[in-house]
Structure 1
Amino acid sequence: MLDRIAIRALVENWAVWRDAGDWDRFATCWHADGIMMATWCQAPWAEFIAASKAGWAKGVSILHFLGGHSADVAGHRAIGQTKMTISQRAMVHDVEVDAVCTGRFYDFLERREGRWGMVLRQPIYEKDRMDPVDPAARLELDPALLKRFPAGYRHLAYLQTQIGYAVKTDMPGLQGPEVEALYAGARAGWRAGRIAEA
């Protein structure tokens, strides 16, 4: 139970400290070899922080909200799943919009020297939408560009493409081979001490 409490605290600290720009404390959420996978950035944690800082400097606005949580703990390793919503505001075709994506954080966690930390954070993107901040505004999206991205995060990816990011197009969703490969890697690789398969 103490491990589960510590893992939940870690997950909550990640969201609060990242969204507040509390980078020094945010860095403590990771182990030295930790990796962050996101639509717009796939990198070791230190590079993810650097990219996040650069985004902040340009006015990039991304917020995270957390919901239910589950952790499968096996000794000094765990898989954590946390319901989440990512909300990003930006200009798309001269219209200010909010893209909101709901899914799960799927975390590979390890306790080292008494401290739980993240080794890999892989979001699972389940569904999303885009809405003008002004309900009276008219927004027309490019159907061909929208179709390039998986259904679970296509509006978020559309927005991120518009502000200059190269978005990864094969992130896991609610169903499909990508999420099945993630689950298989968790079952086999992580329990065997490997993470490359995940």
Structure 2
Amino acid sequence: MYMSVVSTLLSRNSVKFVKGPAPKQADLEQILQAAMVAPDHGRLRPWRFKLIRDESVQALGELAIRTAEADGKPLTDQKAASVRMWLKNVPLLVAVACQIDHSDEKIPESERLLATGAGVMNILNAAHALGYGAYWSTGLGTYSHTVPEELGFDELDYRFMGFVALGTLPERVPTKERPSFEEFVSEWKPGSDL
């Protein structure tokens, strides 16, 4: 069993161009439940998710395009067309936000953000394990004021963290070459300079 879990983790890829259908309800519930087991200092459970389905996905894309223009950063016609082309086949987006509880300053905001990010990673892994494609995007107006607020995530109480596209895998998913962990790991010993 352990080898199959590790093999699943090592074979995960982000798949932007998912298509319908969305995960079946029972599978979606498992995918979202996987977020609930993320490490979470203080059991704050800061993650918040909002499901955006079917026609609402395209409406969100149009909102993001209008927001970019209103913010003085209009998308080129080519970029707007690219956003529309991507979203026309996406059956489900999961909006991701981290709730900031101002009444509990003992646990830093960074730890809440890490817990939410870990929850999203669990969503990505669970989707992959169940045979679906998933992609975490920080586009679509993630860093605007308008898009998060339209979704009910005001900037006083939340840090908006993007969207996870979930759906069926395309016919071909290219494999990605991954670096060796050895490039990023060193060992510390007392008295060493590093």
Q: Which has the higher strand share?
A: 1
Q: Same fold (TM over 0.5)?
A: no
**What's the TM-score bracket when you normalise by the shorter of the two chains?**
under 0.3
Q: Which has the higher helix share?
A: 2
TM-score for both structures, normalised by structure 1? 0.26
Determine which structure has more spread, i.e. the larger CA radius of gyration: 2
TM-score for both structures, normalised by structure 2? 0.27
